[in-house]
Amino acid sequence: MRDVAIIGVSQTKFGELWEKSFRDLVVEAGVAAIRDANMVGDDLDAMYIGNMSGGLFVGQEHIGALIAEHSGLAPIPATRVEAACASGGLALRQAIMAVASGYYDHVMAAGVEKMTDVVDATPAIAAAADQEWEAQQGVTFPSLYAMMARRHMYEYGTTREQIAGFAVLGHKNGALNPKAQFQREISIDAVLNSTKVAEPLNLLDCSPVSDGAAAVIVVPADEAQKYTDTPVYVRASTQASDTIALHSRKSLTTIQSTVLASRKAYEIAGLKPEDMDVAEVHDCFSINGLLAIEDLGFFEKGKGGQAIEDGLIERDSDIAVNTSGGLKARGHPLGATGIAQAAEVTWQLRQEADKRQVSDVENGLTLNIGGTGGTAAVHILSINRK
């Protein structure tokens, strides 16, 4: 297996992008990534596109071929990858494995979602849940994550303010990100007094409905310096699964797929949780961000709330979490999220994150989750090849 490096990244603005179409967004991201990699389109051997539900959001399937055509890259092999909200992370994993195996040399992983073109996005998003046992019974993702929050509060004494603190962190960082959907700070009181969605979660605990796209280009590590002076090396790319239905889990306070995927990633990379300087974690709801920093091994189970309250995941901390603003503030166009996470960590490692730049960054991690944890994709990126 060959070592793999990232040489180009991009992200469109995330938000309610009424003036741009589904295909416009992914082409915009792809062109920018190609330019960032100092390549031309003909240099690419293949594309993997993360997209959760183009069929339900914009009525479009056969997405790989559509994007290859509209980008002017046909007849390039273009494959759509779907794993609910983890579609982007798995598209990146497919691209990495294709290059690592030697089957392709220059591969783009992209992610895209156009979510605002429907009157109600809830049914499309609910397709990531167990239809028979959850969605068809009226269960929504806010209510599922609310149950996880309630149980964490019961088992560990986690406070409502601590959970809200993760959303506050996202907005604090998102205010410095010009590509974020929400570029304003919020307070704990604002979260607690926002519209109730599913007790104990309120509106400002929830990530928004978003449009957007992102792209990453990967090549063999031995070739990376032909294109850039600042390659970012893929130290690990892992994936794990769990039950889709929440009621089948052994615990509501641990996302086992995250635990397993991250343990394997640390093992492959030869690194530990404490070696990570930055992390982009999946915070579709504020409680998910709290669970992530525990399940990734940054803090003991049950201590995540206190870590948030004590400011231990701020940009000047040992582990800076969601410097992009996370799903809460940067936005969450489902298929694009995992790719955007990798783009943010790459910018941090290349010292290109502008006002949100973390000092002395060597290693970073991304965690992209599908549904309530039925799928988890973890990537460890570094400025060091080994």
**Catalytic residue numbers?**
85, 332
Task: Confirm if 73 and 356 have CB atoms less than 8 A apart.
Answer: no
Nearest to 91 by CA among 364, 336, 371, 357: 336
Do 143 and 129 meet the contact criterion of CB atoms below 8 Å apart?
no
- Per DSSP, what are the bridge partners of residue 198? 201
* CA distances from residue 183 to 13, 15, 19, 295 in whole angstroms, order as listed: 11, 11, 20, 28
Strands (E) in 148-210, as ranges, are 196-198, 201-202
Tell me the CA end-to-end span of the chain in Å, nearest whole number: 14
Q: Dihedral (C-alpha) 248, 250, 252, 256: value to the nearest 10 degrees?
A: -100
Return the closest-CA partner of residue 30 out of 86, 96, 104, 106.
Answer: 106
Please state the φ and ψ torsions of residue 240, each to the nearest 5 degrees.
-145, 160
Which residues does residue 188 pair with via DSSP β-bridges, in sequence order?
Answer: none
Q: List all residues 6 or more positions away from 233 whose beta carbon is below 8 Å from its beta carbon.
A: 3, 4, 5, 6, 221, 224, 381, 382, 383, 384, 385
Instruction: State the DSSP H helix or E strand holding residue 255, giving kind and residue range, or none if neither.
Output: none
- Tell me the backbone φ, ψ of residue 15, rounded to 5 degrees: 155, -160
DSSP 8-state assignment for residue 13 = P
Give the Cα separation of 311 and 317 in Å (integer): 8
- Tell me how far apart the alpha carbons of residues 222 and 380 are, in angstroms, rounded to a whole number: 18
Count CA atoms closer than 13 A to 29's CA, side-chain side.
35
Half-sphere exposure of 380 (CA within 13 A, CB side): 27
